[in-house]
Amino acid sequence: MEFSHKPIMLEETISALNIRPDGIYVDGTLGGAGHSLEIVRRLTEGGRLIGIDQDGDAIDAAAARLEPYHDRTVIVRNNYEQIESVLRSLDIRGVDGILLDLGVSSYQLDNAQRGFTYREDVPLDMRMDQRQERTAGDIVNDYSETALFHMIRDYGEDKFAKNIAKHIVAARQDHPIRTTGELTQIIKAAIPQKVRLHGGHPAKKTFQAIRIELNRELDVLKNSLETMIDLLNDEGRLCVITFHSLEDRIVKNIFRTCERPCICPPEFPVCTCGRVSKGRVITRKPILPAPGELEDNPRAKSSKLRVFERKRN
């Protein structure tokens, strides 16, 4: 299966990055290089693009797609959480723009063998980095009922989390839960039939929760955003595309803190905490996909783009 990923809000993202032809840019979620191809096309020989992805299939596809621009492109298989060490290994101290397009790619969803789908019966996998040993199956079969409940409630935001966790633990007493089809049937049994008739696929929220937990998606995001802002040159920009409220809330809050880091009580006449602003939030409200894009690509429906600009004193 070909690794193709339709870039979300491509024009809006490229515009928000405010690309300098001789600048250095990082795509921390390279995927099929949809965004990166448009970035590198705007670079001159003095410019540079560093593409990072932990998915081996993405690396292969992106390398082929970006081959015409190999003289100004570096592709690294890693997690964007390691961006600082990646740049240090390339002797780069600062960059002019960073892009994150979060979540699971269309390729990962549509390639059933990757085990992200609840629409086919395949082994439970969901690893974004297939070098990782632990799979979704390990979480489903090894986590306690309490841990499963908290995961599904917090990362899936499913109001039936307690009952789903109970059904999973009961089902695995007979034999391990090995496939997405088995897990989907267990989830369906835990949700009242009248509820299942509305609001999308009943397994969607639980599968999202397992995927986030397995790949540490929210922890990686929390651990990386401020580091990325610190790596930006003056007037450099960080653009982040999110796909659900959990991600968006993290981005919004960290951007706000980096813009206004002061923790002094409001009654203090002057700041004494010494915390200095790192820049400004460009997007007071997130940028949303245009109606035409939503018609063309339904997976863009929940996406939001937020942008932060670095200001060095």
CATH number of 242's domain: 3.40.50.150
User: What's the confidence (pLDDT) of residue 109?
Assistant: 76
| 168, part of any domain | yes
Domain that holds residue 138: 133-215
| 182, part of any domain | yes
- Cα-Cα-Cα-Cα dihedral sign, residues 239, 244, 247, 253: positive
Name the strand (E) or helix (H) holding 15.
Answer: helix 10-17
Do 251 and 298 lie in a common domain? yes
Do 16 and 102 lie in a common domain? yes
Query: Collapsing DSSP states into helix, strand and coil, what is residue 310?
Result: strand
Domain count, the chain: 2
Give the span between the Cα atoms of 196 and 203, in whole angstroms: 10
Write out the chain's pLDDT in tens, 313 residues.
Answer: 555 557 999 999 999 999 999 999 999 999 999 999 999 999 998 999 999 999 999 999 999 999 999 999 999 999 999 999 999 999 999 999 999 999 887 777 778 889 888 889 999 999 999 999 999 999 999 999 999 999 999 999 999 999 999 999 999 999 999 999 999 999 999 998 888 877 788 999 999 999 999 999 999 999 999 999 999 999 999 999 999 999 999 999 999 999 998 888 887 878 878 788 999 999 999 999 999 998 888 888 899 999 999 998 7
Identify the domain boundary among 188, 215, 242.
Answer: 215
User: What's the confidence (pLDDT) of residue 185?
Assistant: 96
Query: Collapsing DSSP states into helix, strand and coil, what is residue 50?
Result: strand
DSSP for residue 105: -
Do 43 and 177 lie in a common domain? no
For residue 177, the domain's CATH number is: 1.10.150.170
Identify the domain boundary among 215, 237, 268.
Answer: 215
Do 97 and 165 lie in a common domain? no
Identify the domain boundary among 159, 193, 215.
Answer: 215
| 60, part of any domain | yes
Name the strand (E) or helix (H) holding 101.
Answer: strand 95-101
| 230, part of any domain | yes
| 270, part of any domain | yes
- Cα-Cα-Cα-Cα dihedral sign, residues 219, 250, 227, 77: positive
Do 26 and 162 lie in a common domain? no
